[in-house]
Amino acid sequence: MSPRLVLLSLLFFQSAAAFAQRAEIPIREVDQPSGQRRFALTMSIDGKAVEVALDTGSSGLRVLAPHVSPEQQAAGGHSSSYGYESGALFKGQILKMPIALGAVTGSVDVMRVDAIACREGKPNCPMKGADVATFGIMGNDVPGQGWPAIFGVQMNRIDIDNPLEGLGIKRWIIVLPRSAGETGKLILNPDDGELAQYKRFELDERGLFSACLIAADNANRKICAPGQFDSGAPGIHIIGGDPPKLQDWPRGSDVLLVLGDQRSTAAIKVTLGRRDQAANLSIEPGPPKQRLAFGIAPYMAWSVLYDAQRHEIGVAPR
């Protein structure tokens, strides 16, 4: 092998080793005046340090147009739109941008959000008429609240890749803070020794797992459907399908949030309505196929592993 090839090989392996290096990115909780609990971290986007909203219930890095460089504001990509459970519909262009999380850097697909509208079926969503110049993501449409970007890390590909996978990160752990006085962490490239404690569950193509909501005093009173954790939507949500009666799930009653199926399960018990457990229950209209969104309640009890290579989620007691 020529000296030049030897040098290139050494540089490649050194780069790969650094790329897979374990790193921790702090996560902070923001308690908004509305009572909503949000989570944020700081990263670099397009060469600028930005605090972004962390969302485990959506996928993709999306940045409001006024917060990118003039060059990226003028750049043309390919048009895209992306909708959220809140009813918001982001419209814009998909562009390549340099980003960094700690020492991990790379160029990934980013959505420049040029306009905000309401999804079909939710024409009067709170974001109706929002202006990207003054809008804050996850700010409940209140001036001065929210973030210039949303960092969605759910493992499903819609229009753009998960930004962590775009950086070459194949597994990560999220430990959310349980109060505004605590600091959480996003662990990139956890080492093999950390993974042994996690009980793992397979994800479908939408990034959902088998899940059940079961009354603690009556195992026959249950709802089973594909489920997800969602740091952007605190609370427990039964979405779509044939909606149950709210009186069957009264505030103050104990329920089990269950992952998995008959082969393997993990569960936590929460009391509906308890804020410290993020266990407020809502029943929402939606598509015919029911879905369970457990919000941030699981993060209060578990640290959560995301394994993009095996397309699995894992949980371990905190």
pTM (2 decimals)? 0.90
DSSP letter at 127 equals: T
d(C-alpha 7, C-alpha 2), whole Å:
9
* Domain final residue pick, 174, 191, 208: 191
User: How many Cβ atoms sit within 10 Å of the Cβ of residue 198?
Assistant: 20
**Which pLDDT does position 1 carry in this prediction?**
55
String of DSSP letters for 155-169: S--SSS--HHHHTT-
The domain of 241 spans 197-317
Of 35, 137, 273, 173, the residue nearest 127 (C-alpha): 137
Distance of CA 196 to the CA centre of its chain: 23
Q: Are 90 and 36 members of one domain?
A: yes
Is residue 9 included in any domain, yes or no?
no
* Domain final residue pick, 152, 175, 191: 191
Q: Are 256 and 308 members of one domain?
A: yes
Q: Are 204 and 112 members of one domain?
A: no
Query: Which tokens is 40 given?
Result: 């944020």
Query: Which tokens is 154 given?
Result: 């759910």
**Which pLDDT does position 314 carry in this prediction?**
98
**Which pLDDT does position 99 carry in this prediction?**
97
Q: Cα-flanking dihedrals φ and ψ of residue 17, to 5°?
A: -65, -40
Q: What is the tens place of the pLDDT at every residue in 229-243? A: 999 998 999 999 998
**Which pLDDT does position 10 carry in this prediction?**
40
Helix boundaries (H) for 22-79: 70-74
Q: Are 125 and 141 members of one domain?
A: yes
**Which pLDDT does position 246 carry in this prediction?**
86
* Domain final residue pick, 191, 208, 236: 191
Q: What is the tens place of the pLDDT at every residue in 255-278? A: 999 999 888 999 999 999 999 999
Q: Are 22 and 38 members of one domain?
A: yes
Q: Are 148 and 32 members of one domain?
A: yes
Which amino acid appears at position 276 of this protein? Answer: D
Q: Are 152 and 300 members of one domain?
A: no
**Which pLDDT does position 4 carry in this prediction?**
54
Rounded (5°) CA angle 70-71-74: 85
CATH of the domain at 292: 2.40.70.10
Q: How far is CA 91 from CA 75, 112, 140, 153, 293, in A?
A: 15, 8, 18, 19, 25
**Which pLDDT does position 125 carry in this prediction?**
87
Q: How far is CA 70 from CA 113, 243, 302, in A?
A: 14, 47, 42
Is residue 2 included in any domain, yes or no?
no
**Which pLDDT does position 141 carry in this prediction?**
67
The low-confidence residues of the chain, meaning pLDDT below 70, are: 1-19, 141, 143
